[in-house]
Amino acid sequence: MAPAMIDPQIFDQLKSKLEEDSKVHKSLSEIIDQLETQIAYAQGLLSRIHGTPRPEYPALLQQIEVPIRKEIEQIGELSKLASNYPYYKYNYRWSRHTQDAILTVLLTAWIGGMATTTSPGELGRLLTLEQVGDIFQVPINVKDRDVFHLTTEEYLLAVTNLTDELSRLAVNAVTLGDRELAVRISSFVKDIHAGFQLLNLKNDTLRKRVDSVKYHVKKVEDVVYDLTLRNLIPSKESA
Amino acid sequence: MSGQKRDYNGVERKPHEGGQKRGGGQQKTVLVVRNEYTPMFERFRNELDQHHERREKIVKASRDITALSKKIIFALQRVRKIQQDLPNDIKKTMDGFLDQIAQLLATVAQETQGINRYRYDHQLSCMEELVEALTFAHYLKTQTLVSYDQLSADIEELARRGAASKSEQETKAQADANNDETPVPEPDQPPKHKAADAPVVSVTEQDYIYGIFDLTGEMMRFATTSTALTRSLAAADGDETSARPRTILQDMQELRSFIEMLPQKKGKSWSNKLGVLRQSVRKVELIGYGMVVRGGERAEGWVPDAEVDVDEEE
């Protein structure tokens, strides 16, 4: 009698692999759901900057610390779990959320938060990927081992979201009478745009999102144009 | 400041001479206005370039491996019955394609190590196709499903072989630099010591499972042609003596329930593939039915050398 078509062992092996896979998906979902909640809360809180005059930022920054601390916790959990499995196998599950989490700390730092002993909080500060990694206490841009980390792409995508948010802030700052902030934003967004120009992008998500940065530049330039036309640019502004 | 021209390596091109700026002769003019973020973006550029280069290399090899795997499948579809030794010409064709695949695998193995295996998983869609070809070949030879472990080992071996023949060819090319002889592959030669630890491309469980899904499509095609030509459902060579030889129909039914009993994955491709699998099984079931009901009606000699009639025993 010829051997059976399917060795029962094949089935058992595959079954346990698939079961493990769906277990991983479930545990990831739990953590990601909680992370998402914290991010949404932080983003909501952060969007108050559009209606908050600059002198009141410190109070806002204090409030934002709470959800950010929770984000850090959740990302730590995620890192612990995800590092047990091939990183890029499940990366797509959380990549969007880590991007958003990075955005919340980038924006908080830009408006003067996320101060550390080595780099004090000041307006207009862009955290580097290394600094973001330090904040979340996870590795960044790992190539030599297969563990959880924040990727270059996630950081760059978050930066495109930052310029988007700042282009909105430029308009609202002027409304609140803070014309100097609009000018600062303009020069920052232009610098970032120039930076993105240095990248050789392929036709992918990053490219699409980087393409949109030029519209952010345009938005803030329009604001600065309106101000210049009416002689409303603060005099101490220098190029 | 934004319109900096670059060559294909991303290196800045020198601005054309005779620009508006006078006195550019004594000092190098840097067109890019550098700001505090420029160095950071330059680092990112290098990194992204490496990533894109690697990805492109894999995409190219993967496309070729897919095409070669399909050619193997076409060759295998010319087999008429399940037998231990594939017909010589088909075996030769298949081995030729496998050699090419081995070399291609060796070229991308380095790029798919460690964390990069899943990073470029999407680009490595050729693995699924290769699994399909190899599981099909294994089925035609043994009438069994090859296990994941066995298949992984085979494919890893293939990559090692490719690496070995590559380094062999390289040394040969150097030695025969003056000769016109084309290097003759010597299969009997023991692989170089270096090849044993050459990097390999691993097969994921998903490649394996999805390859099995596709295998059933090939089995269906094989069952259709082989039944039409031999007037019997394919069964293992020499198994005709047993009261009821296990046929390809039963094998496919078993594969179907095998897949259905596994924990089901969510997602479109799983359910799509499952739908196709069920259809393939149905088709072969109808062929089996047709053999039983109408098979005997055909005049003898309709197919020159009819062998076993499955319905004889029914």
Give the per-residue pLDDT at B123. 94
Contacts with B, A 142-201, CB within 8 Å: 142-146, 152, 156, 191-201
With H, G, I as helix, E, B as strand and everything else as coil, classify residue B82: strand
Mean pLDDT of B37-66: 95
Is it the case that residue B314 has pLDDT exceeding 50? no
Residue B169: the pLDDT is 76
Q: Is the pLDDT of residue B4 over 80?
A: no
| Higher pLDDT among residues B306 and A193, named by residue | A193
Tell me the per-residue pLDDT of A79-88, one tens digit each, with 9 for 90 and over.
Answer: 999 999 999 9
Q: Distance of CA B288 to CAs A196, B61, B189, B293, Å? A: 63, 40, 47, 9
Q: What are phi and psi of B100, to 5 degrees?
A: -65, -40
CA distance B225 to B307: 15
pLDDT at B163 over 70: yes
Q: Which residues of B touch A18 (CB under 8 A)?
A: 205, 262-263, 265
Residues of B with Cβ-Cβ distance to A144 under 8 angstroms: 114
- Residue B146 confidence (pLDDT) above 70: yes
Residue B307 has pLDDT above 70, yes or no: no
Residue in chain B lying closest to A15 (CA): B262
CB nearest B144 (choices: A3, A18, A196)? A3
Which residues on chain A are in Cβ contact (under 8 Å) with B246? 2, 5
What was the pLDDT predicted at B198? 84
- The rounded distance, in Å, linking the Cα atoms of A200 and A197 is 8
Lowest mean pLDDT among A125-134, B101-110, B234-243: B234-243
Of how many residues is chain A composed? Answer: 239
Record the pTM. 0.83
Q: What CA–CA distance (Å, rounded) separates B90 from B97?
A: 11
Q: Report residue B243 as tokens.
A: 């009261």
- Interatomic CA distance for residues A202 and A199, integer angstroms: 9
pLDDT in tens, A50-93: 999 999 999 999 999 999 999 999 999 999 999 999 999 999 99
> Distance between CA B69 and CA B205 in Å, rounded?
19
Residue type for position A231: N
Q: Do B115 and A22 touch (CB under 8 A)?
A: no
- CA-nearest residue of chain A to B240? A1
pLDDT in tens, B280-294: 999 999 999 988 887
B147 touches chain A (CB under 8 A): yes
Q: What DSSP string describes B133-156?
A: HHHHHHHHHHSSPPPHHHHHHHHH
Q: How far is B144 from chain A (nearest CA, A)?
A: 4
Pick from A16-25, A53-62, A218-227, B23-32: least confident? B23-32
Cα B301–chain centre separation: 40
Q: Across residues B248-267, what is the average pLDDT?
A: 94
- CA B159, CA B291: separation in Å to the nearest integer? 43
Placement of tokens 């990183």 in the chain: A87
Predicted confidence at residue A104, as pLDDT, reads 97
DSSP state of B11: P
Q: How far is Cα of residue B58 from the mean position of the Cα atoms in its chain?
A: 13
As a whole number of angstroms, the distance between CA B157 and CA B154 comes to: 5
Q: In this complex, do A194 and B265 lie within 8 Å of one another by their Cβ atoms?
A: no
Identify the residue with better confidence: A93 or B12: A93
Assess whether pLDDT exceeds 80 at residue B33: no
**Which pLDDT belongs to residue B14?**
60
Residue written as tokens 């670059």?
B6
Stretch B20-32: mean pLDDT, rounded? 47
Contacts of B49 in chain A (CB under 8 A): 200
The interface predicted TM-score of the complex, written ipTM, equals: 0.91
Residue B145's nearest CA partner among B3, B252, B9 is B252
Average pLDDT of chain A to the nearest whole number? 93
- The band of B13, judged by pLDDT with boundaries at 50, 70 and 90, is low
Residue B261 gets the label, from left (phi > 0), alpha (psi -120 to 50) or beta, of: alpha
Q: Is A150 helix (H, G, I), strand (E, B) or coil?
A: strand
pLDDT classification of A130: cutoffs 50, 70, 90: very high
Mean pLDDT of B27-49: 82
- pLDDT reported for residue A120: 82
Sequence-ordered list of residues with C-beta below 8 angstroms from that of B148, at least 6 positions apart, any chain: A10, A13, A14, B203, B205, B208
pLDDT, greater one: B246 or B99: B99
The Cα B7–Cα A234 span in angstroms is: 41
What percent of chain B is helix, strand and coil (3-state, nearest 5)? Answer: 60, 0, 35
CA distance B215 to B133: 8
pLDDT at position B303 = 45
Phi, psi at A57, each rounded to 5°: -55, -45
Gap between the Cα atoms of A110 and B158, Å rounded:
53
- Among A198, A199, A203, A217, pick the best mutation site for testing chain B contact (most B Cβ within 10 A): A198
SS3 for B177-207 is: CCCCCCCCCCCCCCCCHHHHHCCCCCCCHHH
Closest CA to B99 of B194, B145, B168: B168
- A183 — pLDDT class (breaks 50, 70, 90): very high
Sign of CA dihedral A110, A77, A31, A26: positive
> For chain B, give me the number of helices (H) and strands (E)?
8, 0
- For chain B, give the mean pLDDT: 82
B60-69, B77-86, B114-123: range with lowest mean pLDDT: B77-86
Question: B6: helix, coil or strand?
Answer: strand
Q: List the helix and strand counts (H, then E) for chain A.
A: 8, 0
Which of A67, A79, A167, A73 lies closest to A113 in space, CA to CA?
A67
| A85 secondary structure, DSSP code | S
Determine the distance in angstroms separating the CA of A80 from the nearest CA of chain B, rounded to an integer.
16
> Greatest CA separation found in chain B?
99
pLDDT for the residue B237: 62
pLDDT at B25: 43
> Is a pLDDT exceeding 90 seen at residue B21?
no
Paired strand residues for B236: B82
Distance of CA B179 to the CA centre of its chain: 35
Nearest-angstrom CA–CA distance, B201 and B156: 6
- Cα–Cα distance for residue pair B123/B56, rounded to 1 Å: 9
Tokens of B205: 């469980």
> Per the CB < 8 Å rule, is B38 touching A14?
no
Residue B192 has pLDDT above 50, yes or no: no
**A126–chain B Cβ distance below 8 A for any pair:** yes
What pLDDT score was predicted for residue A101? 97
Q: How far is A235 from chain B (nearest CA, A)?
A: 23
- Whether pLDDT at B194 is above 60: no
B18: Cβ contacts below 8 Å, ≥ 6 apart? none
pLDDT band at residue B34 under the 50/70/90 scheme: confident
pLDDT band for position B179 (cuts 50, 70, 90): low
Q: Tell whether the model's pLDDT for residue B230 goes beyond 60.
A: yes
| Least trusted range by pLDDT, from A121-130, A206-215, B223-232, B258-267 | B223-232
Name the nearest CA neighbour of A194 among B2, B237, B14.
B2
Of A21, A145, A192, the CB nearest to B37: A192
Euclidean distance between CA atoms A170 and A163, whole angstroms: 10
Residue A106 has which token pair? Answer: 């980038």
The pair of three-digit structure tokens given for residue B161, joined into one six-digit string: 């072989």
